[in-house]
């Protein structure tokens, strides 16, 4: 039956009450924002977002609804265990809390990514106040309707969708009969899966991915047509009886809840009796003042603290600071290194509370970068903890507040090109081999795009229909949410039940729960988030201090590290920074000899200047020129000088931009913070235009030249490519200095700590060990008679500590086997391989892993004999254990040097024998290849040929298409510069070679040497199966 538009009311009012976004993973084919915008464009009175057992997309929809001035209804779709399907809609704050709690119950009862809800669950956890729409799915079971009617009474409707499938008239008649029989009103529901019909192909593809079958085999599992989109009002008026449409408006009128009603309440238990949050925070701050400044508080800092406490009190954020302080206090009591960073380092109160370590007396802080009255949102305090002990801190939070009050924020895992290619390829019927070839053709080099050249290389015709279709679908699905994961450490803590604020579900990791909102959602809703982050360098520093204590006979803390050691800065000026926090990358090692840091603040600048913001804002070269005295340092006014003097007149930090806008253009502190936010987002969202006019006009009104104003604004735009806040860099510089001090004065302990904290940092174990040996450290191999579970230090008499590689370097050996070896050896040294197997309880696989590493050398001789001995060990019997036998020494060939090196790399990712390039040196010399070290003796501008293992490829977005490659030979490393034309012409060797030969031009300046590549050749065949992996495009 088709209804004429004349039979409807003149305004054709309608509200869509059943709509799924792409947060109904692999079902919905449109973003929440797209659905809201389209509903507003079509003139709908309201839109209900009803993702399946989820509120993950509602904040995005809420913000879009506010922008497009359309009413948003919050709801969710459920399918019970027996197949009963319904939609629940929140009418007020209480019913929203009940809905959120019901979603939490369903999610917590199932594994991650699924949910489980029964009729008993729904009845016993009845969502009071919610309206229910029964989705009968063409199966009008009267018993289901009676059960729901008994539960929801006058809050129940029968939802019907008509989709031109050929069964609409039958469906309509049966629906009306069922509604009359049960006395339930009918409402039009369109089961919306996409905002526009054009997304139908994508929706079909999502269905294929969800069901794990190719599209060609799905049949009736796919929708019959593209009608499940937001349809125009006249079309709906033709399809549905007018009273069905009118019911949508009546239901929408009853749903008055808005997310704006949510109010976050902070935890209360951190304030002792007799105190308010404000008085307790002040008392803790004053105690911190005594600890930080025992000889008296500087007047400037005193004023800063009072200013901060007043603003914190005005905004009632004391509980937030107390919460973070309590977490940090716990960590320090447990001996866990931690340090606050980011904008929190702008806070003198955070320094007093021990949250951060940046002394406000040494820095020019800008508190409004951290907390702003006008912004009216919780501050964001990031605290780094040792990455191996962070879980201890996380479990403390769960134990203190309970899982009903604390959970991690979510991270939305979205489709990227490779994952999209894999899933779409399978949906289109490609076989696994084809899918993997396609996925492998996608890399950062091509901007993660399906490029015709790459497709041809892996055997596909870019013009074939299936490849064209795949390319379109991949582009559409990119950025779509795939599933929720846990944030790296953002905790949400509530005063009462968190699940009444936002649904909570299980994480993939045991003992973890996550909410369904991510950090941007939390920020939009003003919910407290405490970031409990992991930092590998903190683990490495703590371990190094422990090792240092073991051989110096005293306890070491961070406070014991001597400040401003000239020898440390001299080391860094030589770019000797492998393993040093934040300054070990190729770009930083190139900058160190040019900037030549001499003190802590130079390190702060060093860390911040090698960032896209300063580079794009053209700040780097002017700063270096002024530092060398090649360019005059001038300031247009004393006010600007006060802001920029510490960086020689060049704005390098975000805080300086904010301060400049205040002193030179008349911005308020809150307006300056708005500028900072606009800077960070303008390349993605725009929004700098209002500030440009205000900045330029404000500067000219205060007497600054047009040229100066324009230069400052261009530098501000550069920060759209990510610039560091000074506070953030200051926190990192502390750790950079400590790690550099350890590297310079105690290289064995430092390298040992880095190896035992892997994976972390820029370099792998091979590069770390080579660097330690170049610094005079004796590195000893893995040995079952001497090694510990982890790498350790051995103390020869009257000599520097030696580094012994541990069993954690043995590929394939379990931690349990390593512990058993150490325990058995502690009772008595091993006599032979059989004795080792018997007393440590090792199986043949364990023994073969040890033999491959050459760890059995002290018991069996070379690798060949070790494998022979391991193969001769029989499995233990209950009565006799492992049988011992005596046999003559096997006549096996001694492995050749090349074989040993290959085996070393295969089993431990490094070698203590000669470097692979050292074994090839004579052959390389015959080809005219020089060493990395000898390049320094060559004339600048001369031609040279080098070859080395590729350890790193990078193409930063700030480098205008230039590729940087780092090669390694037995004498060190060489940095290559590959111009775009060279890279394009010689793409294959550049991207695929493990051993790369390069002929190029030496470029040497300011203690920095590059080889500008001309000819590239792939010589990987020279190193056979050597397992050497490069770190590419990070």
pLDDT digits (tens, 9 = 90+) for 596-631: 999 999 999 999 888 765 665 577 888 999 999 999
By C-alpha distance, which of 927, 903, 900 is closest to 995? 927
Burial label for 1003, CB within 10 Å (0-12, 13-18, 19+), is middle
Going by the DSSP 8-state scheme, the letter that residue 742 receives in this structure is H
One domain for residues 72 and 127: yes
**Cα 310 to Cα 279, 293, 305, 367, 815, distances in angstroms:** 12, 21, 9, 12, 53
pLDDT at residue 365, rounded to an integer:
60
**What do you get for the CA distance between the two ends of the chain, in Å?**
60
Select from 846, 877, 908 the last residue of a domain: 908
Give the DSSP letter of residue 192.
B
What is the number of other CB atoms lying within 10 angstroms of the CB of residue 533? 19
Distance CA 590, CA 221 (A): 58
Same domain, 761 and 887: no
**Angle 70-72-77 from CA coordinates, rounded to 5°:** 145
The verdict on residue 132 lying in a domain is yes
Say whether 727 sits in a helix, a strand or coil: helix
Q: Cβ distance 517 to 407 under 8 Å?
A: no
Mark out the alpha helices in 316-464 (DSSP H runs).
Answer: 318-333, 348-352, 390-401, 417-427, 432-440, 452-457
Helices 654-665 and 726-745 pack at an angle, to 10 degrees, of 140
Residue of 467, 715, 466, 493 whose CA lies nearest to 609: 715
* pTM score of the predicted model: 0.85
On the CB side of 884, CA atoms within 13 Å amount to 10
How would you write 784-828 as a 3-class SS string? Answer: CCCCCCCCEEECCCCCCCEEECCHHHCCCCCHHHHHHHHHHHHHC
Looking at the structure, do residues 900 and 961 belong to the same domain, yes or no? no
Give the C-alpha separation, 354 to 506, whole Å. 33
User: How far apart (Å, rounded) are the C-alpha atoms in residues 494 and 268?
Assistant: 9
Residues 635 and 706 in one domain: yes
Beta-sheet pairing, 779-780 with 504-506: unpaired
Number of neighbouring beta carbons within 10 Å of residue 641 = 14
Residue 208 in contact with residue 218, Cβ under 8 Å? yes
Whether residue 744 is found in the same domain as residue 670? no
* Residue 803 in domain: no
Residues with Cβ within 8 Å of residue 746, at least 6 apart in sequence: 544, 547, 548
Cross-strand pairs, 1003: 1010
Q: Which portions of the chain are predicted below pLDDT 50?
A: 1-10, 879-880, 1034
Indicate whether 422 belongs to any domain: yes
| Token digits of residue 640 | 């600007």
Beta-carbon contacts of 737 under 8 Å, excluding residues fewer than 6 positions away, are 561, 563, 568, 600, 603
Euclidean distance between CA atoms 630 and 567, whole angstroms? 27
Give the residue among 545, 558, 488, 605 at the shortest CA–CA distance from 735: 558
CA 9, 14, 20: angle at the middle one, nearest 5? Answer: 160
The conformation of residue 143, written as its DSSP 8-state character, comes to H
Residues 246 and 350 in one domain: no
Task: Report CA 361 to chain centroid distance, whole Å.
Answer: 33
- Residue 198 inside a domain? The answer is yes
What pLDDT was estimated at residue 10? Answer: 41
Q: Are residues 295 and 247 in the same domain?
A: no
Q: Which residues pair with 438 in a beta bridge?
A: none
pLDDT of residue 866: 87
For tokens 């003992």, what's the residue?
511
CATH number at residue 151: 3.20.20.140
So what's the pLDDT on residue 889?
Answer: 66
82's torsion region: left (phi>0), alpha (psi -120 to 50) or beta?
alpha
Q: At what angle do helices 58-68 and 32-41 cross, to 10 degrees?
A: 30
Judgement on whether residues 566 and 707 belong to the same structural domain of the protein: no
For residues 288 and 305, give the distance between their C-alpha atoms in angstroms, rounded to a whole number. 11
Q: Report the C-alpha dihedral over residues 247, 249, 250, 256, rounded to 10 degrees.
A: 140
Q: Which residue among 214, 238, 261 closes a domain? A: 261
Query: 976 and 924 in one domain?
Result: yes
Pseudo-torsion of CA 565, 567, 571, 574, nearest 10°? Answer: 110
Provide the residue range defining the domain that includes 652: 615-723
The DSSP call for residue 564 is S
Give the pLDDT score at 610: 84
Mark whether 118 and 128 lie in a shared domain. yes
> In this structure, what is the dihedral angle of CA atoms 883, 889, 890, 895, given to the nearest 10 degrees?
120
Rounded CA-CA distance 598/604 in Å is 11
At 590, which CATH number?
A: 1.10.150.700
Residue 6 lies in a domain: no
Domain boundary (240, 261, 282) is at: 261
Closest CA to 945 of 934, 965, 931, 929: 929
Residues 6+ apart with CB under 8 A from 422: 435, 436, 438, 439
| Residue among 31, 25, 75 at smallest CA distance from 50 | 75
Planar angle of CA 1031, 930, 586, nearest 5 degrees? 30
Number of domains in the chain: 7
Domain match, 772 and 715 both:
no
* Spatial distance between the Cα atoms of 540 and 752, rounded to a whole number of angstroms: 9
The structure tokens listed for 656 are 């300086």
CATH code for position 977:
2.40.50.140
Tokens of 994: 């493990």
Tell whether 111 is covered by a domain: yes
Per the domain annotation, does 167 fall within a domain?
A: yes
3-state secondary structure 454-519: HHHHCCCCCCCHHHHHHHHHHHHHCCCEEEEEEEEEEEEECCCCHHHCCCEEECCCCCCEEEEEEH
| CA distances (Å), origin 597, targets 129, 589, 607 | 65, 12, 11
Domain co-membership, 471 together with 340: no
Question: What share of residues in the chain are helix, strand, coil (percent, to 5)?
Answer: 50, 15, 35
> Which helix (H) or strand (E) is 743 found in, with range?
helix 726-745
The pLDDT value recorded for residue 507 is 86
What is the predicted pLDDT for the residue at 672? 80
Residue 7 lies in a domain: no
């Amino acid at each position: 039956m088709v209804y004429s538009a004349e039979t409807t009311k003149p305004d054709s009012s309608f509200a869509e009450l059943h709509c799924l976004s792409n947060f109904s993973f692999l079902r919905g084919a449109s973003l929440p924002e797209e659905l809201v915008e389209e509903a507003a464009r079509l003139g709908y009175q309201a839109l209900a977002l009803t993702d399946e057992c989820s509120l993950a997309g509602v904040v995005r929809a809420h913000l879009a609804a506010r922008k497009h001035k359309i009413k948003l209804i919050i709801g969710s779709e459920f399918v019970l265990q027996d197949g009963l399907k319904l939609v629940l809609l929140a009418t007020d704050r209480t019913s929203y809390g009940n809905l959120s709690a019901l979603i939490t119950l369903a999610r917590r009862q199932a594994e991650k990514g699924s949910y489980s809800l029964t009729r008993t669950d729904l009845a016993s956890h009845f969502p009071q106040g919610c309206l229910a729409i029964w989705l009968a799915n063409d199966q009008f079971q009267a018993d289901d309707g009676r059960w729901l009617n008994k539960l929801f009474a006058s809050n129940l409707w029968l939802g019907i969708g008509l989709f031109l499938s050929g069964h609409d008239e039958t469906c309509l008649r049966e629906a009306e009969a069922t509604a009359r029989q049960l006395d339930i009103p009918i409402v039009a529901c369109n089961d919306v899966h996409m905002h526009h019909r054009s997304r139908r192909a994508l929706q079909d593809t999502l269905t294929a991915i969800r069901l794990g079958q190719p599209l060609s085999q799905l049949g009736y599992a796919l929708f019959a047509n593209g009608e499940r989109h937001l349809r125009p009002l006249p079309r709906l008026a033709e399809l549905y009886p007018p009273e069905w449409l009118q019911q949508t408006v009546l239901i929408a009128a009853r749903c008055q809840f808005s997310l704006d009603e949510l109010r976050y309440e902070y935890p209360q238990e951190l304030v002792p009796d007799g105190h308010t949050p404000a008085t307790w925070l002040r008392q803790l701050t004053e105690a911190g003042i005594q600890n930080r400044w025992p000889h008296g508080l500087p007047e400037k800092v005193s004023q800063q603290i009072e200013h901060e406490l007043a603003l914190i009190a005005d905004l009632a954020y004391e509980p937030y600071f107390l919460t973070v302080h309590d977490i940090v206090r716990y960590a320090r009591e447990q001996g866990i290194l931690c340090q606050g960073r980011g904008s929190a380092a702008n806070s003198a109160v955070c320094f007093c509370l021990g949250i951060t370590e940046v002394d406000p007396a040494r820095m020019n802080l800008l508190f409004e970068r951290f907390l702003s009255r006008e912004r009216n949102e919780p501050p964001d305090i990031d605290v780094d903890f040792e990455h191996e002990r962070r879980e201890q801190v996380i479990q403390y939070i769960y134990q203190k507040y309970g899982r009903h009050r604390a959970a991690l924020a979510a991270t939305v895992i979205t489709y990227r090109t490779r994952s999209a290619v894999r899933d779409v390829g399978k949906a289109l019927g490609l076989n696994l081999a084809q899918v993997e070839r396609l996925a492998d053709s996608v890399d950062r080099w091509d901007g993660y795009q399906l490029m015709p050249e790459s497709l041809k290389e892996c055997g596909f015709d870019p013009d074939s229909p299936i490849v064209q279709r795949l390319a379109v679908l991949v582009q559409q699905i990119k950025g779509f949410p795939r599933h929720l994961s846990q944030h790296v450490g953002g905790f949400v803590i509530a005063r009462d039940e968190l699940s009444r604020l936002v649904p909570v579900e299980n994480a993939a990791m045991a003992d973890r729960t996550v909410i369904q909102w991510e950090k941007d959602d939390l920020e939009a809703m003003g919910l407290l988030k405490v970031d409990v982050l992991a930092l590998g360098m903190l683990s490495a520093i703590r371990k190094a201090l422990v090792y240092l204590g073991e051989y110096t006979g005293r306890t070491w803390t961070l406070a014991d590290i001597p400040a401003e050691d000239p020898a440390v800065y001299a080391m860094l000026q030589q770019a000797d920074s492998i393993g040093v926090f934040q300054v070990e990358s190729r770009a930083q090692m190139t900058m160190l000899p040019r900037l030549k840091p001499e003190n802590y603040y130079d390190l702060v600048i060093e860390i911040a200047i090698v960032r896209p913001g300063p580079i794009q804002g053209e700040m780097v070269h002017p700063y270096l020129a002024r530092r060398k005295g090649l360019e005059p340092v001038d300031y247009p006014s004393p006010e600007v000088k006060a802001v920029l003097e510490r960086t020689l007149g060049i704005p390098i930090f975000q805080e300086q931009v904010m301060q400049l806008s205040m002193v030179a253009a008349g911005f308020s502190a809150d307006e300056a913070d708005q500028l900072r936010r606009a800077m960070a987002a303008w390349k993605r969202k725009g929004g700098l235009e209002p500030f440009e006019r205000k900045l330029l006009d404000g500067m000219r009104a205060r007497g600054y030249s047009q040229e100066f104003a324009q230069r400052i604004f261009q530098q501000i735009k550069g920060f759209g490519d990510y610039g560091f806040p000074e506070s953030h860099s200051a926190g990192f510089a502390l750790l950079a200095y400590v790690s550099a001090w350890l590297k310079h004065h105690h290289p064995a302990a430092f390298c040992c700590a880095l190896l035992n904290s892997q994976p972390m940092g820029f370099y792998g174990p091979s590069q770390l060990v080579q660097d330690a040996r170049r610094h005079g450290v004796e590195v000893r191999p893995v040995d079952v008679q001497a090694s510990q579970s982890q790498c350790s230090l051995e103390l020869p008499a009257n000599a520097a500590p030696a580094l012994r590689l541990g069993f954690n370097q043995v590929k394939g050996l379990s931690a349990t086997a390593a512990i058993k070896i150490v325990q058995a050896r502690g009772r008595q040294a091993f006599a032979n391989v059989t004795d080792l197997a018997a007393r440590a309880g090792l199986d043949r696989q364990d023994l073969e892993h040890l033999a491959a590493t050459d760890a059995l050398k002290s018991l069996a001789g070379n690798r060949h004999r070790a494998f022979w001995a391991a193969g001769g060990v029989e499995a233990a019997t209950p009565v006799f254990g492992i049988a011992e036998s005596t046999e003559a020494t096997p006549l096996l060939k001694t492995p050749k040097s090349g074989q040993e090196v290959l085996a070393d790399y295969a089993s431990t990712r490094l070698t203590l024998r000669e470097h692979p390039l050292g074994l090839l040196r004579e052959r390389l010399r015959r080809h005219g290849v020089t060493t990395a070290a000898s390049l320094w003796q060559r004339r600048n501008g001369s031609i040279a040929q080098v070859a080395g293992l590729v350890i790193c490829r990078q193409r930063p977005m700030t480098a205008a298409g230039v590729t940087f490659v780092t090669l390694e030979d037995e004498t060190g490393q060489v940095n290559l510069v590959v111009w775009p034309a060279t890279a394009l012409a010689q793409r294959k060797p550049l991207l695929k070679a493990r051993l790369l030969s390069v002929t190029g031009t030496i470029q040497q300046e300011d203690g920095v040497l590059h080889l500008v590549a001309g000819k590239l050749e792939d010589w990987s065949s020279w190193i056979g199966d050597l397992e050497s992996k490069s770190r590419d495009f990070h």
